[in-house]
Amino acid sequence: MKSDIILAGVGGQGILSIATVLGYAAIESGLTMKQAEVHGMSQRGGAVQSHMRIADGDIHSDLVPRGGADLVVSVEPMEALRYLPWLAPGGWVVTNSTPFRNIPDYPGEEELKRALEALKHRVVIDADTIAAEADNPRGMNMAVAGAASLFIDIPFEKMEAGVRAIFGRKGDAVVEKNLAVLREGRKRAEAARGE
């Protein structure tokens, strides 16, 4: 088993929480992982990414090779496109459809939509709405994590255990809300993949 993932988004959107849940699930499944993060200056509202590598054997490089990622997982649609050079042939893009507009020259809705539709293997979900409907607006990242889980060979129960472990100290209500969003994200991804 090998899963090389680029996690993408804007500083502050919560990609490191996705990484933590995935990492927990991987370790609990007896797998090896490496995960490179961005700290420091770019965290301030800039484009951020994290390289996540999961395998059942040794992992050497902390970075996913360009052209070698099985998955680009993004909490922001334009950021998903930024990492296409990393995607291997046949790899999938899983992304939130809601833009994060904090720059003056953010692309128009139509051209962004066209660029996403040009991708052969894609799952685009409205994670912000999923989270809002579950009364958990800050849980958008967990919806994306749920969608991504469909493409990672780790038992889904381990992902759920990851959510429990990470949000546990915030109480059962927070755990349940995030689990709901995680499951809904996965369900929407199942539907979207079939299209």
Partner 1 sequence: MKSRAELLLGDEAVAQGALDAGVSGFYAYPGTPSTEIMEYVQHSREAADGNVHRTWSANEKTALESALGMSYAGKRAMACMKHVGLNVAADPFVNSAITGANGGLMVTVADDPSMHSSQNEQDSRFLGKFALMPMLEPSNQQEAYDMCRHGFALSEEMKLPVMLRVTTRLAHSRAGVVRQAPIPSGDVRLPEDMRQFVLLPAISRRRYRRLLELQPRLVQASKDSPFNRYIDGPDRSLGIIACGLGVNYVRENFPNDRIPHPLIKIGQYPVPVKMLERMADACDRILVVEEGMPFLEELLRGLLDRGVNVAGRMDGTLPPDGELTPNLVRVALGMADRSGAEVPAIVRNRPPALCRGCSHADTYKALNQAVKEVYGDGHVFSDIGCYTLGALPPFQAINSCVDMGASITMAKGAADAGLLPAVAVIGDSTFCHSGMTGLLDAVVENTSMLVMILDNSATAMTGGQDSHAFRRLEKICLGLGVDPEHLHLINPIPRNHDALVGLIRRELDYPGVSVIIPTRECVQTLKKRSRRKPAGTPAGAKGGVQ
Binding site for partner 1 (CB under 8 A): 10-11, 23, 27, 30, 32-47, 51, 58-69, 78-79, 81-82, 84-89, 91, 102-103, 105-107, 111-112, 115, 118
Closer to partner 1 at the Cβ: 33 or 159?
33
Alpha carbon distance 164, 191 (integer Å)? 25
Is residue 145 within 8 Å of residue 180, measured between CB atoms?
Answer: no
Q: Show Cβ contacts of residue 113 under 8 Å, excluding neighbours closer than 6 positions.
A: none
In the complex, least distance from residue 192 CB atom to partner 1, rounded to whole angstroms:
20
Is residue 6 within 8 Å of residue 69, measured between CB atoms?
Answer: yes
In the complex, least distance from residue 128 CB atom to partner 1, rounded to whole angstroms:
18
Closer to partner 1 at the Cβ: 89 or 194?
89
Closer to partner 1 at the Cβ: 47 or 161?
47
Alpha carbon distance 81, 53 (integer Å)? 20
Retrieve residue 149's tokens: 């889980």
Retrieve residue 156's tokens: 């889904």
For 107, which DSSP code? P
Closer to partner 1 at the Cβ: 165 or 192?
165
In the complex, least distance from residue 109 CB atom to partner 1, rounded to whole angstroms:
11
In the complex, least distance from residue 108 CB atom to partner 1, rounded to whole angstroms:
8
